[in-house]
Amino acid sequence: MKDRIKDILLPKCGKENYEKLMDLNNTKLNEFVAKYVELCDPASVFVRTDSEKDAEYIRSKAVASGEEQLLAINGHTAHFDGYFDQARDKAHTKYLLRPDQGLGSDISSVDRDEGLEEAHAILKGIMAGKEMYVAFFCLGPTNSEFSISAVQITDSSYVAHSEDILYRSGYEEFKRSGVSGKFFRFVHSAGVLENGVSCNVEKRRVYIDLEEEIVFSTNTQYAGNTVGLKKLSMRLAIKRASEEGWLTEHMFVMGVHGPDNKRLTYFTGSFPSACGKTATSMLEGEKIIGDDIAYLRRKDGKVRAVNVERGIFGIIRDVSDANDPAIYGALTSPGEVIFSNILVTEDKKPHWLGDGVEEPTEGINYSGKWFAGKKDQAGNEVLLAHKNARYTIRIKSLGNCDENLDNPDGVEVKGIIYGGRDSDTNVPVEQSFDWAHGILTQAATIESETTAATLGKEGVRVFNLMANLDFLSIPIGRYIQNNLDIVEGMEIPPSIFHVNYFLRGKDGKYLNGIKDKHVWVKWMERRVHGEVEAITSPTGYFPKYEDLVPIFKEVLGKDYARDEYEEQFTLRIPERIAKKERIKEIYHTKVFDTPHILLKTLDDQILRLEECRKKYGDYVSPFVLEKDE
């Protein structure tokens, strides 16, 4: 066996790369790499250690291969995904399951044997003439009990480069964890490239093998489908967490300063794509640890969290100097940034929708040569950049990176924020009565209007519990139960909040400014420390007007009017009840293992809402609720 592995690997790797692999002394790893070298048949194999030299090699290959192009500012590059490869492909992302395994109707799967055969058939010879990269990463801080080692095989230098920005290097970690360490494995091929982009879209697949902890991804470049460590690893980690008693969540991790900047309180937050999650995590003046994926563990009676990543793959649309100075500054300064699916003008500058500068009339974008008014084959206007265009950057490049980013013990979570995109139902911010109430009535009922971050129609309201439905690899009911259990017996569990940045008034206009989210997190920070009181509504605790006024003044320099508050925080009973009924229907009909307590808690909440409606009508002012207490 050993000789056979050597015979396969040595000619493709060459001596130096072969030795890098052998130094890890890990048979399971070597067999895995050899299997896919033999199947994918690359021209050569590059093995990436944690050295700067290896990182630089991949950066230079990304440009030489045409997957990235240099931009005017030093360290900046642009990458384009194919015209039909601009978001996560939910339809072709499936779990490989045996006939007796079932995750429920909302989680797609394919027969394991058939799926493996299909993936392997697609991968056969797919890397002919290309270089294969074998790279090692650590999900979470190195040397930490939170963390998981992973190896990525890819033929895309863009994917390997993105991973270098987004994840902590893990070659030494592999050595440290030794041969017995369990690790995630990812096999990706962008397939045949035309003008630097994957062209066999019809053979795009993302297949997840939970048993072996391997994910296959083919004929796609979009990072959400390809960067194994991101959403692909999340699916494996949710399963592993469930077996080991911790949580993998679609959450940012941030520190919020208390009054006079005297303390820093950590929050995590889970929102579906394009609902303001990244923007919240990097609010100016606060501290960011991560914007997308967190591992949470119970330690010494506290919930602690780490960021799985060390970089951000953020939506660039509407990032402007005025609205997001922290990230805008980093995106316009020298340093390593990959811009994807933006517009590149002749002077090699990136442009995106809502960047706050004058719009160019021509350039190159994901549709090729672009000019204002361009239409695609279906007759739809091609905007100057894709709505899901992104930037990839290290968190350390941000001025407000928190010092605990790489703390192996993580940070203590005092509050958890859930959000969604809804125009007519939830108030801008409220706090749940307790942990179970928050998990069951808020986290487990998140809905969001669809956006450009996944393929398909935009603007449809979809159920997305904990903003994690797309990534669940265990039955929904079990996942909810895991969330309930993590704080069992804990004296003071984290507080749970819900936000809605997208509420509209009768005239259809947004009721809040884009920066109001900063006020809400400051209010939460005070609530966690018991410094402000709240109004008890049938659905949770609402902020008091007099507590928000000074925060609006201090944070935004704004005089917050009484009638603005009243409109924003009016309890909309018909919409609230309708939402709960919609969600109950889902749990009744689609989820086979709904915890009983979920339906009971929703029913109790509906009863409270109905009683309130009998007293005060359909729409109840927060001032009326306050007097009622």
Residues labelled as active-site residues: 275
User: E-assigned strands of 334-445?
Assistant: 337-340, 343-344, 350-351, 362-365, 368-371, 390-394, 411-420, 429-431
Q: Is 453 a residue that touches ligand SPV (CB under 6 A)?
A: yes
Structural contact between residues 376 and 367, judged by C-beta atoms closer than 8 angstroms? yes
Stretch that binds ligand SPV, among 57-65, 223-231, 257-265, 428-436 (CB under 6 A): 223-231
- Which DSSP letter does residue 144 get? -
Q: What b/e readout covers 605-616, taking b as 16+ CB neighbours within 10 angstroms?
A: bbeebeebbeee
Residues whose CB is less than 8 angstroms from the CB of residue 160 and which lie 6 or more positions away in sequence, other chains included = 48, 58, 61, 62, 133, 135, 152, 154
Q: Is 527 a residue that touches ligand SPV (CB under 6 A)?
A: no
Structural contact between residues 529 and 447, judged by C-beta atoms closer than 8 angstroms? no
Structural contact between residues 247 and 481, judged by C-beta atoms closer than 8 angstroms? no
Picking from 251, 250, 257, 252, the residue whose alpha carbon sits closest to that of residue 521 is 257
- Least Å distance, CB 153 to ligand SPV, is 19
Picking from 540, 535, 447, 443, the residue whose alpha carbon sits closest to that of residue 487 is 443
Residues 71-110 binding ligand SPV (CB under 6 A) are 88
Residue type, 493: P
- Tokens representing 556 are 């935004």
- Tokens representing 437 are 């109430």
Q: Is 470 a residue that touches Mn ion (CB under 5 A)?
A: no
- Least Å distance, CB 31 to Mn ion, is 32
Name which of 131 and 309 has its Cβ closer to ligand SPV.
309
Stretch that binds ligand SPV, among 222-230, 362-370, 425-433, 607-615 (CB under 6 A): 222-230
Cα(140)–Cα(167) distance, integer angstroms: 8
Q: Is 386 a residue that touches ligand SPV (CB under 6 A)?
A: no
Q: Which of 97, 127, 223, 609 binds ligand SPV (CB under 6 A)?
A: 223
Structural contact between residues 95 and 210, judged by C-beta atoms closer than 8 angstroms? yes
- Least Å distance, CB 313 to ligand SPV, is 5
Stretch that binds Mn ion, among 63-71, 101-109, 151-159, 288-296 (CB under 5 A): 288-296
DSSP calls for 198-238? E--GGG-EEEEETTTTEEEEES---HHHH-IIIIIHHHHHH
- Least Å distance, CB 291 to ligand SPV, is 8
Q: Is 230 a residue that touches ligand SPV (CB under 6 A)?
A: yes
Phi, psi of 440 (to 5 degrees): -85, -40
Stretch that binds ligand SPV, among 16-24, 224-232, 371-379, 620-628 (CB under 6 A): 224-232
Q: Work out what residue 81 binds among Mn ion, ligand SPV, none; the CB cut-off runs from 5 to 8 Å by kind.
A: none
Q: Is 231 a residue that touches ligand SPV (CB under 6 A)?
A: yes
Cα(289)–Cα(266) distance, integer angstroms: 9
Q: Work out what residue 88 binds among ligand SPV, Mn ion, none; the CB cut-off runs from 5 to 8 Å by kind.
A: ligand SPV
Q: Is 447 a residue that touches Mn ion (CB under 5 A)?
A: no
- Least Å distance, CB 272 to ligand SPV, is 7
SS3 sequence of 297-323 = EEECCEEEEEECCCEEEEECCCCCCCC
Q: Is 249 a residue that touches Mn ion (CB under 5 A)?
A: no
Name which of 306 and 467 has its Cβ closer to ligand SPV.
467
- Tokens representing 386 are 């894709």
Name which of 391 and 552 has its Cβ closer to ligand SPV.
391
Q: Which of 89, 249, 292, 447 binds Mn ion (CB under 5 A)?
A: 292
Contact string (CB under 6 A) for ligand SPV, positions 298-317, x = contact: ---------------x----
CB closest to ligand SPV, residue no: 224
Q: Is 224 a residue that touches ligand SPV (CB under 6 A)?
A: yes
Phi, psi of 479 (to 5 degrees): -60, -40
- Least Å distance, CB 273 to Mn ion, is 6
Cα(414)–Cα(303) distance, integer angstroms: 8
Q: Work out what residue 453 binds among Mn ion, ligand SPV, none; the CB cut-off runs from 5 to 8 Å by kind.
A: ligand SPV
- Least Å distance, CB 6 to Mn ion, is 41
Beta bridge partners of 146: none
Contact string (CB under 6 A) for ligand SPV, positions 272-301, x = contact: -x------------------x---------
Cα(244)–Cα(53) distance, integer angstroms: 37
- Least Å distance, CB 125 to ligand SPV, is 28
Residue type, 486: I
Q: How many residues of this chain bind ligand SPV (CB under 6 A)?
A: 9
Residues near Mn ion (CB under 5 A) are: 292
Which residues contact ligand SPV by CB under 6 A?
88, 223-224, 230-231, 273, 292, 313, 453
